[in-house]
Amino acid sequence: MTTKQSMNIDPYEKNWIRLSIGLLIAFAIAVSVAGFAMGIQVPSPEQRVDPNTVAESGPWANPGLRTIQEGKKYEAYVLAQTWQFLPREMTVPAGAEVTFYVTSKDVQHGFKLQNTNLNVQIVPGQVSKLTVTIDEPGRYDFICTEYCGLGHAAMFGTLIVE
């Protein structure tokens, strides 16, 4: 006597399995297109720093713009603290590529550059890096998007594009 085991899947359930596999494939394609074809960046920890000393030594001791290539490429070192960004104001030429390196010396903050897709969490001890190119001249405020205490609502700075 032999017993033959077979898996019986209800046709209705089979369709849901097919749909689930189809969705996984669709999501994998969407993530690949966004990442490789459209260049959408996910903020990732760039480097670690010591929040206790970050304001005293290293690039954030003297926060602000660094010119990498005049008129074309800049780096912006921004220090977040309760309740302000340092520097409060920076000016770059229109069409220049600006890479932000933002960190916090105290609590968790947020960094959102208005009217752009640049929006990142600022965690003490971590450096958040994001690159943006702005062609349209104007004043772009960067605001804190994570509640960080009493002065949270007043925590902002400005990037001037001219």
144 binds ligand CUA, rule: CB under 6 A: yes
106 binds ligand CUA, rule: CB under 6 A: no
Q: Which of 49, 98, 155, 159 binds ligand CUA (CB under 6 A)?
A: 155
Residues facing residue 128 across a β-bridge? 45, 102
148 binds ligand CUA, rule: CB under 6 A: yes
Cis status of the peptide bond prior to 83, with omega within 30 of 0: yes
C-beta of 63: minimal distance to ligand CUA in Å? 15
Q: Which of 55, 92, 101, 109 binds ligand CUA (CB under 6 A)?
A: 109
- Cα separation, 120 vs 97, in Å, equals 17
Q: Answer positive or negative: Cα dihedral of 68, 140, 63, 143.
A: negative
C-beta of 147: minimal distance to ligand CUA in Å? 6
The region of 6-14, 21-29, 129-137, 147-155 touching ligand CUA under the rule CB under 6 A is 147-155
By CB under 6 A, the residues from 56 to 85 that bind ligand CUA are 83
Q: Are strands 126-133 and 119-122 parallel, antiparallel or unpaired?
A: unpaired
- Contacts with ligand CUA by CB under 6 A: the residue count is 8
Residues engaged in binding ligand CUA (CB under 6 A)? 83, 109, 144, 146-148, 152, 155
